[in-house]
């Protein structure tokens, strides 16, 4: 374990005004998104689309790192440079998704655990050689009647901790992502309760597996109302509840927290991040690790056509810029109107 490299990487990932692009969608997820704009989900189209995002001029001012999928880290840019090297030359840190997706937990109806620990150390060594300096593992926590259970929280917490320990041993910074899903009719109060329980379980497991808190990044859910809940919490309430939970559970020694957008609209994800980043007394920097909330406008503009590349890059640059401002508490809704 190279602690100096880990610390340097972790600090760069949450540098002021910069965040992480999650471009680690599986082929299945890509297919759904590509279908929405009438694009065939071929390997070449996936390469072209990601290349469009990565080559956006100046986006490195707002993007500190990119989470890649296994296919993508083995692909090359148009100039023949491997994507990981291409990003690194722009000052953007290459990362890699290493989990193998979720499966049902036996005897725990409606709950899932993430797989991928088998052979992980060997895969991490290979990814390090391919240029990855951080990794991501996602767990999913569903809120429903009588769930999540203790079984679900601790199964996922221990998987996250074992993954994180393996990453640090390989000199790769682990992003831990225990996502509390937006789906359901639960209240914001219930979401806060579950998010706190999830993070308490996760950090207890990290400590049990000797994970160094100074070299790990949390990819956190925001505390929001379930998407089918009649009362939707406002921006300031979301910010206050989310930060309260983080302060109760996340060690101050941690380098930073990045947020997932989790199905929120592009503007909601930006507004929530801005409200949290503007709050006083934060022990760590807050920033973004968005997928759809960064990519949506670009994908809808691109539509698989090379002729739309410049316009798509401008759309991507704008969302990255807006979220870079939000990570500093400097975003304003008027900035969206000015760009439009």
Tell me how many degrees the CA angle 44-65-174 measures, rounded to the nearest 5. 105
Catalytic residues: 177, 219
Segments in 143-187 forming alpha helices (H):
150-169
Please report, for the chain, how many H helices and E strands are present, in that order: 13, 10
**How far separated are the first and last CA of the chain, in Å rounded?**
47
Q: Let me know: does 54 contact 86? Beta carbons within 8 Å.
A: yes
Here the tokens at position 253 are: 């020694």
User: Could you give the CA distance from residue 224 to residue 242 in angstroms, rounded to a whole number?
Assistant: 8
- How would DSSP label each residue in 197-241? HHHHHHHHHHHHTT--GGG-EEEEPP----TT-SSPPPHHHHHHH
∠ CA 251-225-250, nearest 5°, is: 0
């Amino acid at each position: 374990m190279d602690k100096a490299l880990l610390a340097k990487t972790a600090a760069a990932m949450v540098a002021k005004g910069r965040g992480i692009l999650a471009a680690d969608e599986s082929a299945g997820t890509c297919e759904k998104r590509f279908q929405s704009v009438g694009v065939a989900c071929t390997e070449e189209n996936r390469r072209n689309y990601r290349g469009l995002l990565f080559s956006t001029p100046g986006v490195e001012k707002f993007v500190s790192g990119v989470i890649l999928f296994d296919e993508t880290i083995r692909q090359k840019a148009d100039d023949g440079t491997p994507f990981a090297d291409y990003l690194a030359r722009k000052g953007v840190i290459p990362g890699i998704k290493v989990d193998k997706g979720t499966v049902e937990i036996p005897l725990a109806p409606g709950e899932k655990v993430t797989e991928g620990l088998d052979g992980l150390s060997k895969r991490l060594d290979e990814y390090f050689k391919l240029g990855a300096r951080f990794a991501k593992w996602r767990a999913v926590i569903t809120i429903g009647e009588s769930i999540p259970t203790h079984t679900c929280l601790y199964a996922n917490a221990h998987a996250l901790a074992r993954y994180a320990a393996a990453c640090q041993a390989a000199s790769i910074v682990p992003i831990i992502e225990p996502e509390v899903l937006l789906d359901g009719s639960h209240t914001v109060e219930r979401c806060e309760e579950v998010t706190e329980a999830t993070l308490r379980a996760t950090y207890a497991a990290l400590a049990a597996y000797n994970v160094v808190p100074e070299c790990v990044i949390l990819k956190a859910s925001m505390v929001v109302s379930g998407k089918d809940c009649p009362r939707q919490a406002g921006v300031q309430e979301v910010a206050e509840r989310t930060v309260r939970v983080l302060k109760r559970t996340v060690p101050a020694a941690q380098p930073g927290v990045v947020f997932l957008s989790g199905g929120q609209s592009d503007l909601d994800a930006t507004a929530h991040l801005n409200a949290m980043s503007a709050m006083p007394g934060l022990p760590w920097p807050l920033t973004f690790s968005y997928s759809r909330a960064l990519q949506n406008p670009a994908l809808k503009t691109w539509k698989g056509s090379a002729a739309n590349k410049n316009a798509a890059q401008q759309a991507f640059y704008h969302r990255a810029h807006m979220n870079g401002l939000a990570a500093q508490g400097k975003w304003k809704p008027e900035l969206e109107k000015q760009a439009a």
